[in-house]
Structure 1
């Protein structure tokens, strides 16, 4: 219906349900208007604006197929890819350009794209662009194209904003509507619909059993959020299904990889948000599952419109939770469906087996014998020179694993250990021994054993009458009794040994203490005067530390007792200072007294 009008050059508003071939309705007419490519013609003459990247790729494929005999140069521009290939293609010249609003405006601002010779402008899925907030960008693009042009607007639904846009920028458009009066009531006549009321914790189990029904081909599962997509994808992978996700947080290369694997049959389950609900045409999609209830009737129509296309049949199953019943009733009334009260369903309910043809005894895990798909890993990721940052949990987890594998641990340098005492290196520390094939200092194991092992035995064999070990204190004045006892145990001066040990030998601390002369603590006398302060060899010994008595602490008998009371400095002879009011009264009385003395009578 729209093709003759489009070939005649009239402005068109096309409204039809999804899957009816709107792309060829405007594509054939636009290619015919643009004509065959010419070498001296660099600027594009046809422009198609689409809301999503996946739809841009699909429209380009359809236009390339339609322009097989003409040889028209068609370019796709959208975000998430490198600018350089798109800029190079624009320099070589294109006839038709298909792109998203954001990337089109970026190329125009960079002065790589000139829309001054556009003859045919197409707005595909205009209602979806309105929902995504592209209306200001669309208005800016329309202002950049010439006023003398053919404008075609295609959409499944026509909200008020789109109608106002068409009245403002279209020239006497013809409204072509391929629908009956029942609106969306029979939008999907070839699709069998099921609506179940389920519990949130049981939805993944029902889905895993639904995916094992008889005659199931490619299946699309729609979720409301990106996080829900990742959760469902990970859970289905764990249960053995060949599945991939498509949502906005994935890079463009990963999104196209998932769609290619889905079209090629390497995976049979595609979990996506509403980004894949518009314009994605994949053959042999037999089942569509609304894992989360749609927001409105338009989303519901476009979601289940992925199946039952071009005369084929399909099955659409919608999960509705208890708190989503009100929203579903609004959708049910808008589309005049027969599912006002969804059937309460669990993973063990008998009707899910009978309605979908699921074999009896099917569990929530796919048997190993049925895991015949190659999986997403079999599809290579195309290097698109992606821009932006990927924020998906699964992709981030993969990048972290690769980064850990590439990270190399630096070689550890040998550490040279030296024995010290009091922060200074001891004289008997041997020089490093360098043997063949060994670098760095070598510590003899026998010496270490002699230093550590005998401690337990020597403690047991110590005689009872041996002198107690001395104790160290930080300052001698803190504990005078302990300090005096320590000075009495150890002599003031110890003569060094007359014979030097052999070079390279090491003496332990225990051997050095055993060879040193000891002082008998019982024969020692306290240092009472200067004469007694001489050591056994006649030399003056160190002076005894002076002990200061500790101040007496005041401990009150009760925590509420008064420790200090300020003295009362006032005396009985002190006069109380008068206040200002009392001074004024006294001054007034004195003045009255003086007047009586002078005049002989009191003043009136």
Structure 2
């Protein structure tokens, strides 16, 4: 639905459920708008239209999404040899600056690093013909808005602007119209697919006790037919702790959250995509746009903040027509918050049943074999684990300790634990002169 409108050069606000292919909805028109040497050879463009400055810009909220969109666009633009570059923080500047000097056609980036390079005059935005805000409601949120506005002020006024997201509150659309000229608002959905959530994702909501949740999750992860699973936590600390606990229980788990260095974040996501790790514990940084094949279960370890977050989180499964299962564990304190989400999305889980790791209905509904315990049997520990995936050296910026964020959180002895094991060194103290 968006292709003919976007190809004609009109401004577009595109909205469709998670996992329905929005990336190519804006990606293909972008790749068509860009002039590359292949077009000159085919006689579709004049040689003077060629430029080494970027001609299209995609702005995304997270680094992981930035990488993913870049890879999708590279694949789609392979035949015409379109040069696509990812620009995001947490890795060295030099390779990005080098690539810009050589020339690029499409840039995919996060706001911070884009502004950095544009401010240093390394990134020229004067030739941009098309701008896309992916996950637009997040990009126009209070946190990103000032940066996005600065970027927009650097672009030529005559350009095509496109916004895409699964959730588009009215306020965002109102705000967007300030930056767009006569946009077409396209909402795509299946005629029989009513409701805000994706129809082929089965949803379960349980009222669970905080102390019992790790045990609950460990049992859910042994359900029949489980492929890859994503577990969402609200805080970085909870995510780090849960990933450690699951690893101790024998699961091949990795973590993605803001306290990890960029190398460790990318290592965990790569291991998850390659199947070396089958449980990814993450904060909401991975809730938007991340597309991994074979995710059968999404577990909300803690109730999400709002209904938008819930839609994006559970949208990591049931993508591109596949079936998925979404399980939400709601704490006693979080019941009022959950009821607001339930009402906003018109779901039928206003009073979630009280559930423990031993509750029979849990085993029945999620087809967990009876007698399953909270530790993965040794015979089933077949995955290579996080350690099998190399950590790339990205020349990280932002000084968050070693390659694994703070104090090295892998099984290796580094950081504070190793320091504690070394014998203390006696220092000689200089004699103090008494105060006068």
Q: Could you tell me the TM-score, scaled by structure 2's length? A: 0.90
- Aligned to 2:248, which of 213, 221, 238? 238
Aligned-residue offset at 1:161: 4.0
Match in the other structure for 1:273:
283
Aligned-residue offset at 1:409: 10
Moved more, 386-395 or 245-254: 386-395
Write the mapping of 1:377-526 to structure 2, written as runs, cut at 5 A. Answer: 377-390=387-400, 392=405, 395=408, 398-400=413-415
Match in the other structure for 1:12:
12
Give 5+ residue unaligned stretches, structure 2: 39-46, 426-436
Aligned-residue offset at 1:340: 0.9
The RMSD of aligned alpha carbons is 2.4
On the 8 A contact 1:243/1:268 being kept in 2, the answer is: yes
- Aligned to 2:366, which of 356, 362, 372? 356
**Would the alpha carbon gap of residues 353 and 105 (structure 1) be closer, same or farther in structure 2, given more than 3 Å must change?**
same
Match in the other structure for 1:557:
none
Structure with larger RCO (C-alpha < 8 A, sep 6+): 2
Aligned-residue offset at 1:192: 0.7
Match in the other structure for 1:153:
163
Number of equivalences: 412
Give 5+ residue unaligned stretches, structure 1: 411-604
Write the mapping of 1:309-348 to structure 2, written as runs, cut at 5 A. Answer: 309-348=319-358
Aligned-residue offset at 1:131: 3.8
Match in the other structure for 1:419:
none
After the TM superposition, which parts of structure 1 deviate over 3 Å for at least 4 consecutive aligned residues?
Answer: 37-40, 179-184, 391-394, 396-399, 401-410
- Aligned to 1:294, which of 285, 296, 304? 304
**Which protein has the larger Cα radius of gyration, Structure 1 or Structure 2?**
1
Deviations 1:413-465 (A, max 9, x none): xxxxxxxxxxxxxxxxxxxxxxxxxxxxxxxxxxxxxxxxxxxxxxxxxxxxx
Match in the other structure for 1:197:
207
SS of structure 1 residue aligned to 2:328: strand
- Aligned to 1:67, which of 56, 77, 82? 77
**Would the alpha carbon gap of residues 348 and 68 (structure 1) be closer, same or farther in structure 2, given more than 3 Å must change?**
same
SS of structure 1 residue aligned to 2:371: coil
Match in the other structure for 1:3:
3
1:22 to 2:22 alignment: yes
Match in the other structure for 1:140:
150
Match in the other structure for 1:84:
94
On the 8 A contact 1:101/1:138 being kept in 2, the answer is: yes
Q: Could you tell me the TM-score, scaled by structure 1's length? A: 0.65
Match in the other structure for 2:428:
none
Aligned-residue offset at 1:53: 0.4
On the 8 A contact 1:37/1:95 being kept in 2, the answer is: no
SS of structure 2 residue aligned to 1:79: coil
Match in the other structure for 2:68:
58
On the 8 A contact 1:12/1:153 being kept in 2, the answer is: yes
In 2: Cα distance, 1:57 partner to 1:357 partner: 36
Deviations 1:74-109 (A, max 9, x none): 110000010000000011110111100110000011
In 1: Cα distance, 2:194 partner to 2:136 partner: 18
Aligned-residue offset at 1:136: 1.0
1:366 to 2:376 alignment: yes
**Would the alpha carbon gap of residues 394 and 261 (structure 1) be closer, same or farther in structure 2, given more than 3 Å must change?**
farther
In 2: Cα distance, 1:402 partner to 1:96 partner: 45
Match in the other structure for 1:376:
386
SS of structure 2 residue aligned to 1:343: coil
**Would the alpha carbon gap of residues 350 and 407 (structure 1) be closer, same or farther in structure 2, given more than 3 Å must change?**
closer
In 1: Cα distance, 2:118 partner to 2:62 partner: 19
